[in-house]
Structure formats: C-alpha cells, structure tokens
Amino acid sequence: MRLYNTLSGEKEEFIPVHEGKVGMYVCGPTVYNYIHIGNARPMIVFDTVRRYLEYKGYEVNYVSNFTDVDDKIIQKSIEEGVPASEISERYIRECKTDMEAMNIKPATVHPKATEEIDAMIRMIETLIEKGYAYEKNGTVYFRTRQFDGYGKLSKKNLDELRAGIRIAVSEEKEDPLDFVLWKPKKEGEPAWSSPWGDGRPGWHIECSVMSKKYIGDTLDIHAGGEDLVFPHHENEIAQSEACNGTTFSKYWMHNAFLNIDKKKMSKSAGNFLTVREIGEKYPLQVIRFFMLSAHYRSPLNFSGELVESARAGLERILTAAENVREQLKKAPDRECSAEEREQLERLGALRAKYEAAMEDDFNTADAISVVFEIVRLANATAEGSARAYLEEFSSTITQLCDILGIVTEKKEELLDAEIEALIEERQQARKRKEYARSDEIRDMLKEKGILLEDTREGVKWKRA
C-alpha cells in the first residue's frame, strides 16, 4: 500500500511502526457551531482510510480530538450568556449526530482539550526544562530556533516568514515564529492554574499531548485538512519531537479543500453550508458519495449539479444491489455454470482492481468507477442464476461499498421537508373533513417511524 506523505512530498510504501496495528490521529473540529460540509471532508476521507485499513486486517487505533477551549467558543458563550462548556458540549453532541448521519465511525477515543490540561502542563514543563520553551509574563512560548527541523513539513522559507510577521510581533517573543504554549487568563475566560499562573493552553499543544497519551510517541498516520500543515502541524512536530526525542509521525496525510465557487468553504468567509442544512435536501449518504468521487488530494467544488450526479450514480449502485438481493430470494441451489464461474472470475479481478486503486494513495474516485463496472456486470445477470453466484455478487458489492461508508440496503427515509409537506397535506385534509385521507397520512408516517403529536401550537413530529 502506498500513500502520499506530505513530509517527504512523495508516495511511500506504508509500513506501520507495529506490524498489523495502525495508530492514527486526525485533528478534529473546534466546537462552537454546527459543522459545515468542508469540515465533513476530512471526517469522511479519513474514516474511509480507516475502513480500508480495517478491511485489510489492521487493528486501527483512531484518535480524533474536539477542541473545546478556544477564542471562538468563548466569544459565543459571551454572546449567549452561558458558560463556554455549555457551548462546547452542545456542539460536540451536534457534531456526533452529524457524524453518525454521515456513517462516520466513532473514533476509538475522542479526547477533549479541557480534560487533558494537566498533561499539557507537564509537556510544557518538559519543553522548558529541555530549553525548547520560555516564559514571559505568564505566557509560555516555544523557541522555534532551538528546534532544528522547524519547517520540514510545510517547506516554508522561514526567513521570509520571519520578515513577514516582524512588525506585528510582540516585544516578548525571542523570534517572530515562536508560538504560544500557554497564555495567561483574561477576565471572564475559563482558566486553569499552572506553574505560570492561571491561564489556558495554546491550540497546538493539545494534539501533541493527546496523540502521545492515546497512541504513543510515534504515530503511524497524522491527518487533517491542508490548511493545518502550517502552522498547526509544523508546531505539533516541533513540540512532540522536542519533548519525546523521536519521530512524531511516520506519515502525514492532508485532504484538499471543499470549495464553493472555487473558494474554500469556511465559517469565517460565510460561504458555508452546514451538514444539517444539506441533510434536509439530500440523504447524507449522497454527500458522502459525492466527497469520495474525487481523490482526497484534489480540490472539490461543491455544486448542486455535481451532487445531483452523485445522487444518480449512487442510486444506480443501490438499485443493482437491491436487484441482486431480490433475485437471491428465489435463487436455485445448484452448482455454478461454466459461464457463471467465468463471471465470478471477472468479479474477483474487479475486486483486485478496486484494492489496487485504494492502495494507490486511497484513490476512491477510481475505486468508485470499479464499483460501477461491477454494477454493470451484476445488471447483466441472467434470470435463475445460482445462489452461490448471486451471493458472491451481493457480498462483494456490500463489502466494497461498506469501505466507502455506503450502506447498500435501501432505507426509505423521509427528508424533513417531505415530512413537513405531508403534515401540511394532512392538515388541509382535516380542514376539508377528509378524515380518511388524514388518517392515511398519519399511518404512512408512522410506518416510516415518524410520530405526530397534535398540540395547541400545532402539529409536532419526531422520529421514533
């Protein structure tokens, strides 16, 4: 298996530190709002990487954090007049709901920054002892000049960078590139006591600490969006390697952006669509399929047209899977014919082609086109095919889709908008005293797991 390592700038053979095991750390979201579909891209991409590694028999320890202390969280807590923890807990819950809806497996561990403060303080102390960090007026900085490899991941010209930020730099820093490990408390902000006074950690230190605690000093794969390469991941390397004296991560994987009108989708630019919003228009499985239809290192432009084409493509796969399952119900238990055996050989070759695509730096776009080849073969299946033959097709399609996180069993799920339209229709029927129709709608919704409640404020509904 080969994967592109940002550190070397090349595709490399994947050899984990411990045979058969993979320790993988993926930087997670800062939780101050609903996640948008740009944030969903790394979640979907690296969940797929994990699923493929598991399919290959690796035991994957997948760690992904929630950044639950941050300026934006604090800002929102001030706006709403509630504690910061209430904001972060709310959006961790919502994020987990979205992840589940996108069929993203929960991480082995989802550590939270606020629960790891002691370990962060210990790592900062070690960095100070080793001469890699210094304190000025309650702020602790990392001494970038002390760390030889600084810049090796992002390959930035450090002198140019230094020149660029010289004007804005505060007097305290020894070097413009030095970054904050610990900052002093400001009035009204959450704070923890430390050897340098009350305060809170800088952003980068949490990932160094959590990955060490839950995986070890050397990770197999460290991943995230490409905007994290500098400074976040560069700083993580500096902190971890200075503290542990060993390689921080063997492989670095970064996904390209999800764009909208060729611009990065981001909260700050305001050009974003939340997973929640998009989930009202499309089944989220369609969004997942859309994301994987491009290679993870290629930028992907979001457009209604592309999503529609993903929806149609996915439909073709699901229909083929359904047809095979239907045929299986009445399939004869007999030996496969010579022709069927030949088709099964083709199927085996296509599975190998799928694996080859995934093993070439997780080329999900090519893997999906192999699934379409299998679908074509499945659609050409003759009536009365042998059970063993159909079972092989059914399990292959299911398994190869499962790696992509696509569930082939069709669920007749209603979208929020469809439910609301039906409720409205039921209200109209009741007004016209067409009770048979209104009962029919209620029963139909109930069958699909939607429960209605008539209240004084109108009809409320919930999923059972």
CB atoms within 10 A of CB 238: 29
CB atoms within 10 A of CB 399: 13
Distance between CA atoms of residues 133 and 124, nearest Å: 7
60 binds ligand AMP (CB under 6 A): no
- Within positions 206 to 245, which residues make up the interface with ligand AMP, using CB under 6 A? 224-225, 227-228
Distance between CA atoms of residues 254 and 89, nearest Å: 27
Binding-site member from 207, 300, 314, 403 for Zn ion (CB under 5 A): 207
Distance between CA atoms of residues 43 and 72, nearest Å: 21
Query: Given the complex with ligand AMP, which of 116 and 392 has the nearer CB atom?
Result: 116
Indicate the DSSP class of residue 175. S
| Three-point CA angle 4, 9, 11, nearest 5° | 30
Residue 274 CB, nearest approach to ligand AMP (Å)? 12
N-terminal to C-terminal alpha carbon distance within the chain: 43
Binding-site member from 30, 64, 208, 235 for ligand AMP (CB under 6 A): 30
Kindly give the pairing relationship between strand 258-260 and strand 300-301.
parallel
154 binds ligand AMP (CB under 6 A): no
Q: Which residue is nearest to ligand AMP (CB)?
A: 225
Q: Which does 265 bind (CB under 5 to 8 A by kind): Zn ion, ligand AMP, none?
A: ligand AMP
| Tokens (6 digits) for 109 | 């561990």
Extended beta strands in 293-373, E state = 300-301
| Tokens (6 digits) for 55 | 């399919």
Burial class from Cβ neighbours inside 10 Å (0-12, 13-18, 19+) for residue 402 reads middle
Q: Which does 207 bind (CB under 5 to 8 A by kind): ligand AMP, Zn ion, none?
A: Zn ion
41 binds ligand AMP (CB under 6 A): yes
Nearest to 115 by CA among 210, 215, 204: 210
Q: Which does 126 bind (CB under 5 to 8 A by kind): ligand AMP, Zn ion, none?
A: none
Q: Which does 278 bind (CB under 5 to 8 A by kind): Zn ion, ligand AMP, none?
A: none
Residue 236 CB, nearest approach to Zn ion (Å)? 6
Residue 91 CB, nearest approach to ligand AMP (Å)? 10
Site mask for ligand AMP (CB under 6 A), range 377-416, x = bound: ----------------------------------------
Binding-site member from 44, 229, 242, 258 for ligand AMP (CB under 6 A): 258
Helices (DSSP H) in 404-458: which residue ranges? 416-431, 435-447
Residue type, 295: H
Query: Given the complex with Zn ion, which of 111 and 199 has the nearer CB atom?
Result: 111
Binding-site member from 85, 97, 126, 266 for ligand AMP (CB under 6 A): 266
238 binds Zn ion (CB under 5 A): no
Q: Are 350 and 406 in contact (CB under 8 A)?
A: no
Distance between CA atoms of residues 141 and 177, nearest Å: 10
Which among 37-45, 127-135, 403-411, 424-432 is the span making contact with ligand AMP, rule CB under 6 A?
Answer: 37-45
Nearest to 286 by CA among 265, 314, 305, 306: 314
Residue 42 CB, nearest approach to ligand AMP (Å)? 4
Which among 24-32, 58-66, 116-124, 357-365 is the span making contact with ligand AMP, rule CB under 6 A?
Answer: 24-32
Site mask for Zn ion (CB under 5 A), range 159-188, x = bound: ------------------------------
CB atoms within 10 A of CB 67: 20
Residue 38 CB, nearest approach to ligand AMP (Å)? 3
Beta bridge partners of 254: 224
Query: Given the complex with ligand AMP, which of 135 and 227 has the nearer CB atom?
Result: 227
Indicate the DSSP class of residue 113. G
Distance between CA atoms of residues 120 and 210, nearest Å: 9
Which among 23-31, 209-217, 383-391, 406-414 is the span making contact with Zn ion, rule CB under 5 A?
Answer: 23-31
Residue 207 CB, nearest approach to Zn ion (Å)? 3
313 binds ligand AMP (CB under 6 A): no
CB atoms within 10 A of CB 105: 14
* Size, binding site for ligand AMP by CB under 6 A: 17
Beta bridge partners of 26: 64, 223
Query: Given the complex with ligand AMP, which of 66 and 134 has the nearer CB atom?
Result: 66
Which residues make up the interface to Zn ion (CB under 5 A)?
27, 207
